[in-house]
Structure 1
């Protein structure tokens, strides 16, 4: 019976390791638009891949801030800022534009799933601040860019005046840590 219990614990630990290895990182993006107070505009997301890019999706969720309306999608995009937005790179122009009232902080989480083998072409997710005429406002270009290449770590660049990006611990990693600590406590207790 003890041997079966040990095998079960090892199986659970292995499943936790496998699950955390398969999950991509979660990024928390914070956008500070205090310098644009009193203006309206858009948080504009583009998910663009090269013609031969590996299949990929970007999932945007947990939006915070002064969101106005449900947002506008184009191309391989679905959802709204009130819930979850999924962008694919299946067509040329994949966009989500969320209308906002500038002047405060906005935030959202983003995760990626990228297929393909190392060496395949990549896909970029960009975020820009646009005014109501869809012209850049505040910055001369994109304020956040995620560069995704199969088999490589995600590349992240930001305009430090408007945006910050932080990797969030994955729930699977936290659960694996808790399970490992529990396992060590059990083994220590048994050794006494």
Structure 2
């Protein structure tokens, strides 16, 4: 900086502050853009890579500022495009996961409907079984009545024809 004029030094400071502002904006955008831990770790890795690359680029810019500023902006734009593409891929993955969850919900709804049908069939079987038990109780009662009548009939003293013959003759 000793061999540079005051205006060149002011331009250098201005350009350096612009780059610092751009780097701060990029860092802030990448920190805000994270949705979950996986994305945050991906972004922080990208920030570390960008910081190391930008430090190298700043050292190169000291020798040829105009040319390097333009190429730096192009690289930053490309990185933003790549990050946008990555975010789009992640969004697509989340859409696929959401769709799979919807399918799982539909499958569970079908399973619930099948269980409801099974419950209805069990209720029908229970009702039929209750009817059969009632019919069985009625039949058992009738059998019991018949047995009682048979027992009563068997207990009665019957007069044989021979006894009748003897009695009257």
What band does the TM-score fall into relative to the shorter chain?
Answer: under 0.3
The structure with the greater share of residues assigned to helix is: 2
- Higher RCO, Cα 8 Å, sep 6+: 1
Decide which structure has the larger Cα Rg and report it.
2
TM-score (norm 1): 0.22
